[in-house]
Amino acid sequence: MASSQFMVIEDHSIKKNPFPYWSVQGIVSWVLSEALGCENVSIVAEEDVQVLSKIGAFGLLEAIVKTVNECLAEAPRFGLRAPVMALSTSEVLETIDRCNSMGGSSGRFWVLDPVDGTLGFLRGDQYAIALALIEDGEPVLGVLGCPNYPVKKECLSYHNGYRRILSRLTSLSSESWDRGCVVYASKKCGNAWMQPLLHKEKKFVWPNSARQIKVSSVDNPALATFCEPVEKANSSHSFTAGVAHSVGLRNQPLRIHSMVKYAAIARGDAEVFMKFARAGYKEKIWDHAAGVVIVQEAGGVVTDAGGHPLCFSKGMYLEGLDRGIIACAGARLHEKIVKAVDASWNSSCL
């Protein structure tokens, strides 16, 4: 799967460029165009190429072109073909400009979040590169590159905090995979997969290192772990805490930046993800599309708070969203949480 291969290349671009969003978009766009043909590639992405055309953006544009070329030159290491010659500034702008789709209910388009979880990235914590393929309004393929998420669950520490997970990675034995993984799934295959970004020998070994992942079998709320966003700006911690208490979730919440939360559910590291934004906040499709496919194919359930499937057919936003988003490892936990939200919503301030 080429999409999981260039997730590794994208991680290089993020480390080399303090403003990596356009670089990642350029890399993804070029790789997809080479594989499928430019005329067959339509991408919904977060960043607008017009910013790079403004006066004063030359230094940023120069850095982006340099980063894109440096990273694409390494493509053969990961089983991909590199450009015959370095891309010019106009060619890089052209590849980024292909990320201008508005989505919709018909046809095929890709959805890309080049750096999901900017604060996590800046703090050396969790972030993700998220790519999904949508056909006729339905996500059918999802890939999450999680550069700081350890392959081994033992490296997680829910009770002592999660933000500085990198400091815990130094205790990994030489026989362990390095930190970072890619999780991916294709709709209706009934399987989700995980592989390390790089093997311990620093070599990319896809697909021989891939292994199947499944959601947790825990359905007792007292034993379950739930995820929620770190930032309070777009999710109410107090309401989530109230729902958790009423359902019987006793463990401390696992607060994670980015769609790594979906990876945690799919891998079985947590059982529940809840997000309830305040009135007026609109969820973007690139913040959820890839994660939804992966969790569902790993055996989980993802809906809005009313139990309805998320709608990816109305453009760049999840229009018609009922109150919030609930992802669970199983239907039993999911049903309990939906009922708890219904029981307490009218008394909330959301």
- Write the pLDDT tens digit of every residue in 20-65: 889 999 999 999 999 999 989 999 998 777 777 665 667 888 889 9
Residue 203 pLDDT greater than 60, yes or no: no
Pairing of strands 181-186, 192-196: antiparallel
192 lies in some domain: no
194 lies in some domain: no
Please state which of the ranges 10-14, 90-94, 146-150, 270-274 shows the lowest mean pLDDT: 10-14
pLDDT one-digit tens code per residue, 112-166? 999 998 888 888 788 999 999 999 999 999 999 998 887 666 555 444 344 444 4
State how far the Cα of 125 lies from the Cα of 347, in Å rounded to an integer. 34
State how far the Cα of 197 lies from the Cα of 73, in Å rounded to an integer. 18
The fraction of the chain above a pLDDT of 90, given in percent, is: 55
CA-wise closest residue to 170 among 178, 180, 162: 178
- Return the bridge partners of 325, or none: 275, 304
154 lies in some domain: no
Residue 321 pLDDT greater than 70, yes or no: yes
Q: Which residue has the tokens 């309830």?
A: 276
Q: Are 4 and 205 in contact (CB under 8 A)?
A: no
Residue 349's pLDDT is 65
Domain boundary among 57, 82, 101: 101
Count of Cβ atoms closer than 10 Å to residue 24 Cβ: 33
Domains contained in the chain, number: 2
Residues whose CB falls within 8 Å of the CB of residue 43, separated by 6 or more in sequence, listed in order:
25, 28, 29, 32, 98, 99, 100, 101, 109, 110, 111, 112
pLDDT one-digit tens code per residue, 162-201? 444 444 444 444 344 457 889 999 998 889 999 887 655 5
According to the annotation, is 113 in a ligand binding site?
yes
The dihedral through the CA atoms of 246, 250, 252, 257 has a sign that is: negative
Give me the CATH number covering residue 270. 3.40.190.80
134 lies in some domain: no
301 lies in some domain: yes
Q: Which residue has the tokens 């070599």?
A: 203
According to the annotation, is 116 in a ligand binding site?
yes
Domain boundary among 101, 135, 167: 101
254 lies in some domain: yes
Domain boundary among 61, 76, 101: 101
Q: Are 127 and 260 in contact (CB under 8 A)?
A: yes
The fraction of the chain above a pLDDT of 70, given in percent, is: 81
DSSP secondary structure string for all residues of 200-226: TTS---TTTT-EEE-------GGG--E
237 lies in some domain: yes
Residue 50's pLDDT is 76
Residue 344 pLDDT greater than 50, yes or no: yes
Residue 253's pLDDT is 84
Residue 18's pLDDT is 47
According to the annotation, is 46 in a ligand binding site?
yes
For residue 67, name the pLDDT band (cuts at 50, 70, 90).
very high
Identify the domain containing residue 85 by its residue range: 1-101
According to the annotation, is 287 in a ligand binding site?
yes
126 lies in some domain: no
